[in-house]
């Protein structure tokens, strides 16, 4: 079947922790995306199938409305909405899983909650440079999604047969969203063997696609139109696009969580654009980078804004004005591309 990616020793130890303990909390990252929700809920359903009754998924803040249909999404605790309930769950947890995040700071305002907890910590993730905060770390940057790692875990513990329809839906959703509907990071053959297995579980992949991608509000689509028409700047020399959205417009379009998530990908559909930068003015300036080919945007995100991510998708934040942040990006382009050529 699929190749064995996760170390056998890690599989055994995670399996032992699952067998041994009864209370589990599963945490995803701040501003959760499809993979954060898909992997955490996918694992939660899997633990349910193993007969575990005390399983709680916690997200640091709200997740996008187009993921609310996922099985179990209505039982997710949101830290910014229900801090006390989250703290109680964490305090009584035997095991805490950290999914789709490589350092505690990725849980945002929730990060201090983990101090002094006795629970056993297991991280399962696919971002580079994992921090050493967990007792067990499963880190595979070469794998396209954490949801895929959850499938691999279920499979390797020899329990593919009990993987439920609900779990399969969640896992597929994370695999789909972290590859842009299998349009990037998606050449690994195993992905399609896994999808085949998920289809055997009864998932409707076409319906999942529509649930996630054909769920826009009118406001969101108009915002995309505005951003592309009024703010997108193309720098032909570097095949780069820079786009912004300021606080006033975010308010005007009444944007909700996740509404701008895929916007940064749009300029890449221009034939001549291989690097897209999107800057959004929130409490801080949030900068998203996307690229095609061998343009390491995680390096840009790290060097310019202390951020990080993957080769083709990364992000960072900046304290200052939108204009300053745009200028920082523009100033950095010549040296960045010179370093790639050299």
Q: What residue ranges bind Mn ion (CB under 5 A)?
A: 35, 100, 146, 178
- We find the least distance from the C-beta atom of residue 221 to Mn ion, in angstroms, to be 25
Output 146 or 239, the one with its CB closest to Mn ion: 146
Q: Residue 72: phi, psi to the nearest 5?
A: 95, -10
Tell me the closest approach of the beta carbon of residue 238 to Mn ion, in angstroms. Answer: 27
DSSP string over 66-87: GGTTSTTGGG-EETTT-HHHHH
Contact between residue 76 and residue 62 where contact means Cβ atoms under 8 Å apart: no
DSSP at 95 = E
Compute φ and ψ for 317, nearest 5 degrees: -135, 155
Of 40 and 244, CB closest to Mn ion: 40
Check residue 292 and report its DSSP letter. Answer: S
Instruction: Count CA within 13 A, CB hemisphere, residue 164.
Output: 16
The residue among 35 and 239 lying less far from Mn ion, judged by its C-beta, is 35
Interacting residues of 64 by C-beta distance below 8 A, sequence separation 6+:
32, 33, 256, 257, 258, 259, 261
Residue 233, phi then psi, degrees to nearest 5: -120, 130
Q: Which is nearer to Mn ion, 100 or 166 (CB)?
A: 100
Residue with tokens 């993730």: 125
If the CB atoms of residues 100 and 103 are measured against Mn ion, the closer one turns out to be 100
Query: Least distance to Mn ion from the beta carbon of 184, Å?
Result: 13
Minimum gap (Å) between residue 310 Cβ and Mn ion? 9
Closest residue to Mn ion, based on beta-carbon distance: 35
Q: How far is the CB of 116 from Mn ion (least distance, A)?
A: 28
């Amino acid at each position: 079947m699929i190749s064995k990616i996760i170390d056998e020793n890690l599989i055994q130890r995670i399996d032992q922790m699952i067998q041994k303990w009864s209370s589990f909390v599963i945490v995803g990252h701040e501003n959760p995306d499809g993979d954060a929700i898909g992997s955490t809920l996918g694992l939660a359903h899997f633990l349910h199938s193993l007969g575990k009754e005390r399983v709680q998924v916690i997200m640091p803040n709200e997740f996008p409305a187009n993921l609310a249909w996922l099985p179990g999404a209505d039982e997710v605790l949101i830290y910014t909405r229900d801090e006390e309930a989250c703290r109680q769950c964490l305090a009584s947890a035997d095991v805490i899983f950290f999914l789709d995040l490589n350092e505690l700071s990725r849980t945002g305002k929730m990060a201090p909650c983990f101090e002094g907890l006795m629970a056993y910590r297991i991280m399962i993730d696919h971002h580079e440079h994992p921090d050493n905060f967990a007792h067990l770390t499963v880190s595979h940057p070469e794998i396209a999604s954490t949801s895929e790692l959850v499938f691999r875990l279920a499979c390797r513990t020899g329990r593919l047969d009990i993987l439920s329809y609900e779990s399969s839906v969640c896992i597929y959703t994370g695999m789909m969203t972290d590859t842009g509907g299998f349009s990037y990071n998606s050449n690994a053959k195993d992905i399609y063997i896994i999808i085949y297995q998920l289809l055997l579980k009864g998932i409707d992949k076409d319906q999942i696609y529509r649930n996630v991608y054909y769920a826009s509000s009118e406001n969101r689509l108009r915002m995309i139109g505005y951003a592309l028409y009024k703010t997108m700047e193309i720098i032909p020399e570097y095949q780069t696009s820079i786009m912004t959205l300021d606080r006033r417009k975010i308010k005007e379009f009444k944007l909700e969580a996740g509404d701008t998530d895929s916007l940064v990908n749009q300029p890449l559909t221009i034939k001549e654009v291989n690097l897209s930068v999107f800057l959004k003015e929130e409490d801080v300036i949030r900068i998203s980078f996307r690229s095609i080919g061998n343009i390491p945007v995680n390096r840009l995100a790290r060097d310019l804004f202390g951020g990080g991510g993957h080769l083709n998708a990364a992000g960072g934040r900046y304290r200052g004005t939108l204009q300053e942040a745009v200028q920082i990006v523009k100033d950095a382009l010549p040296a960045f591309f010179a370093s790639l050529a050299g």
